[in-house]
A and B are shown apart, each in its own frame.
Chain A
């Protein structure tokens, strides 16, 4: 019999000790693990995840207010029937979903499901063979990744992609590059336009550095930082661009519990304070279910579920994908 683990600690604002998990229904064990506590595990049937924080979404709604008081706006990005192939391999098969303004949208799925490829499609690194990306109400033409970035889409990477030869400050400042426009000639003179622009952008960068609490390592070369801090610096670099959509590729991979908590807090704060739309990939279900407003579930390149965390949790396909079903 599969056993469900006790939650160690709640992820977010309050401590949520799980009780009674051991008695959880054997059919849905991992759901127990995902449960955010209270006495939910005591209820044996489905639908015991009453949505607490974030309300369910109906596609027809233009905007709505969540239970915790945030306003989720209209659709800002929509993927329509995306298909991506590498040679003969179909990494993404005819997937459609949308991202609303101000929401936290998660993409989950087992390894190799095509999540990272999806993110790469959004950030323009892969060009899908079929399908369209709609951004802010119009169809996005074929674009190079740097043009996508200039449109206000920033991201972090699964394997940290910081510029190792530069200091933390310089790395964060690279996030500002899309906002810096002085020409080469003005820069070679420095005094005047280039310096003014530099200072102006430095102020923004410093704000982000403050926000993410990395002031002390500002001038440290990135190569010297431990893993968790590198992840944070990467987030800082993405934030410095003041993106309208922030893509996070496994922001908590390889972190310990405390680092995960910190990162979760940062993600929520970014969303709260700047109103940034966030799309994230994450393997830690507890985090995903707690953080996100809506979840897309992928498996073998196909979309098998889409909806609020509790809708997804009860989706039979999703359960099969995660637990495996007997193929006969």
Chain B
């Protein structure tokens, strides 16, 4: 009733394979885009940007990336935090001008990149590192691989902690995003406007989502899914497994790197690697895609929204309404997240995305039972 597809006919294969084959979906998508791009920037304030919208957009990118690797290609990775760190530190280096040393002397220094390209470079460098750590995936499978990616997590965090070149030899060992602008509008630094940072992140989120969708509906996505569902059969029907896995690692790490760069440069502004990109971050993003839905673009968004909202909501209810101490609320948060993961895996292994699909089915028939 509210949701109908009758009368929607695809007359070409191209139409049949578009992202939203159903008109209703398509219009709703346009409305959401319109609100996000045109309406929200006028109403946004610091609180909304910093505690909800920015983290949501940035985690959504990371979740998209991880979902490509785990949900579509079936290669479980626990290294997301480490890869986000690569994105953040590369972005920082390119923002401040990469200095190349040889034998104790400064060989040359790249010019400082614009923030936009710094973020892109963050993604590209992470893609490179991701491919490197993806190489063992040809030989190592299942949770052996999951554990192997922990090597990336711990090694990368250690690297950014110990090698002072990465944080430009600052005494604190932190990296701080200097003030940078795009078309004269400040994007990073302490005195940014919420609408500017919001739009900047929104742009990357939309582009990443579109790319992810395009890749997963075409031959690349089918290769990944074939590897996920049955790797041996996939190889025998002509999928080069190493290549498929490496492209998945590459695209996934690219997204994760971009999200790491944004997380550092736009959202936090200053970062200490162990704190911001530790193993907990890896799990957080993994939980997002489990709760949201493995192998679903929409699920990545849903999961990110859910896990960004949950602590905020708990804090509002627990601390602000009931006046509980914050540490108890934090512990409750752990219990709830852990419990939810289990509940979702038991009741709905396909996550919120599947709930949404079922709801659509129901809506389509409503108010009639059949």
Contact = CB atoms under 8 A, between A and B. Distances in A.
Contact of A170 (B214, B225, B233, B234): B225
A150 interface: yes
Interface stretch (A16-24, A49-57, A160-168, A300-308): A160-168
A242 to B, nearest CB: 12
Contacts of A203: 13
Given A184-B247, A187-B219, A190-B214, A177 B237 contact: yes
Interface residues of A, number: 43
A174 B214 contact: no
B158 to A, nearest CB: 31
Contact of A199 (B13, B214, B222): B13
Interface in B38-54: none
A124 B17 CA distance: 34
B238 A182 contact: no
A199 B198 CA distance: 37
Question: Which of A125, A150, A161, A206 has most chain B Cβ within 10 Å?
Answer: A161
Question: Which of A155, A177, A199 has most chain B Cβ within 10 Å?
Answer: A177
B233 A163 contact: yes
A133 interface: no
A131 interface: no
Interface in A108-126: 123-125
A144 interface: yes
B222 A198 contact: no
A188 B241 contact: no
Nearest to B74: A165
A145 interface: yes
Interface in A141-175: 144-146, 148-150, 154-155, 157, 161-166, 170, 173-175
Contact of A155 (B223, B236, B295): B236
A187 B220 contact: yes
Contacts of B220: 184, 187
Given A170-B222, A189-B214, A190-B214, A202 B13 contact: yes
A146 B225 contact: no
Contacts of A154: 237
Nearest to B295: A165
B212 to A, nearest CB: 9
Contact of B237 (A175, A182, A188): A175
A198 B238 contact: no
A174 B222 contact: yes
Interface of B: 12-14, 17, 211, 214-215, 217-220, 222-223, 225-226, 228-230, 232-241, 247, 251, 295
Q: Which 10 A-B pairs have the closest CB atoms?
A: A149-B238, A161-B233, A163-B229, A190-B214, A178-B238, A180-B219, A188-B211, A202-B13, A199-B13, A145-B236
10 contacts: A146-B240, A161-B232, A163-B226, A166-B226, A174-B234, A178-B238, A184-B251, A198-B219, A199-B12, A199-B14
Interface of A: 123-125, 144-146, 148-150, 154-155, 157, 161-166, 170, 173-178, 180, 182, 184, 187-190, 194-195, 197-199, 202-203, 206, 237-238, 241
Given A146-B236, A161-B233, A165-B228, 8 more contacts: A145-B235, A149-B238, A162-B229, A165-B225, A166-B225, A177-B223, A188-B214, A194-B218
